[in-house]
Amino acid sequence: MTITERIEYDVKSLDTYFRQLFAMAQESSSQEPSSVATTDEPEYFAHDVAAFIHPDMVCNVYSFVDFWLAGLCHFHKCKGHLARSHKDIKGESALEAYHKYLTKVAAITLQAAQPSYDHLDNLRKVRNCLTHGGGHITPKQRIEIEKIPAITMSASLVIIADSFVWDSLNHAKAYLCAVAQA
């Protein structure tokens, strides 16, 4: 099995898993929501298990990308007999460091995959809001996050549309396959 086929297999597995999660979310949302709030304060609200599904999917896609990019950087290091590792490269994020390694050190042309990389950078920003802020953002972060298509806000809480999840998975596949085939 080639690297590209392994990536496509993983994407197909995530696709199947996400379809099951979306079905569970729809079923859960059709039931009466259970309240987690025991106070009347406005920052607390009632929700059901479906509120946790989109963030979980976003984190899964980002973890999938992070895992494969580390492996692909190692693959290109060995393939090109490169002295430097992706770990030697600094960036504002791990995603940026991987991309710099691939384009600068491994000298891979990824212009055709740039839209996918840009989407993955937005995915990273949303994922960081989820993991570092519990899905809540500061007013400063809001300016940047509101620009991301299929992401909306409810007060300080990031709301993720279904389309963002599917677009993220498709862009992950496109970018990773472009790197694997380079």
pTM score, whole prediction: 0.89
8 Å CB contact between 62 and 124: yes
The residues spanned by each domain of the chain are 3-181
CA distance 154 to 48: 16
- Per-residue pLDDT of the chain in tens (182 residues, 90 and over written 9): 999 999 999 999 999 999 999 998 888 777 655 544 444 444 444 455 667 899 999 999 999 999 999 999 999 999 999 999 999 999 999 999 999 999 999 999 999 999 999 999 999 999 999 999 999 999 999 999 999 999 999 899 999 999 999 999 999 999 999 999 99
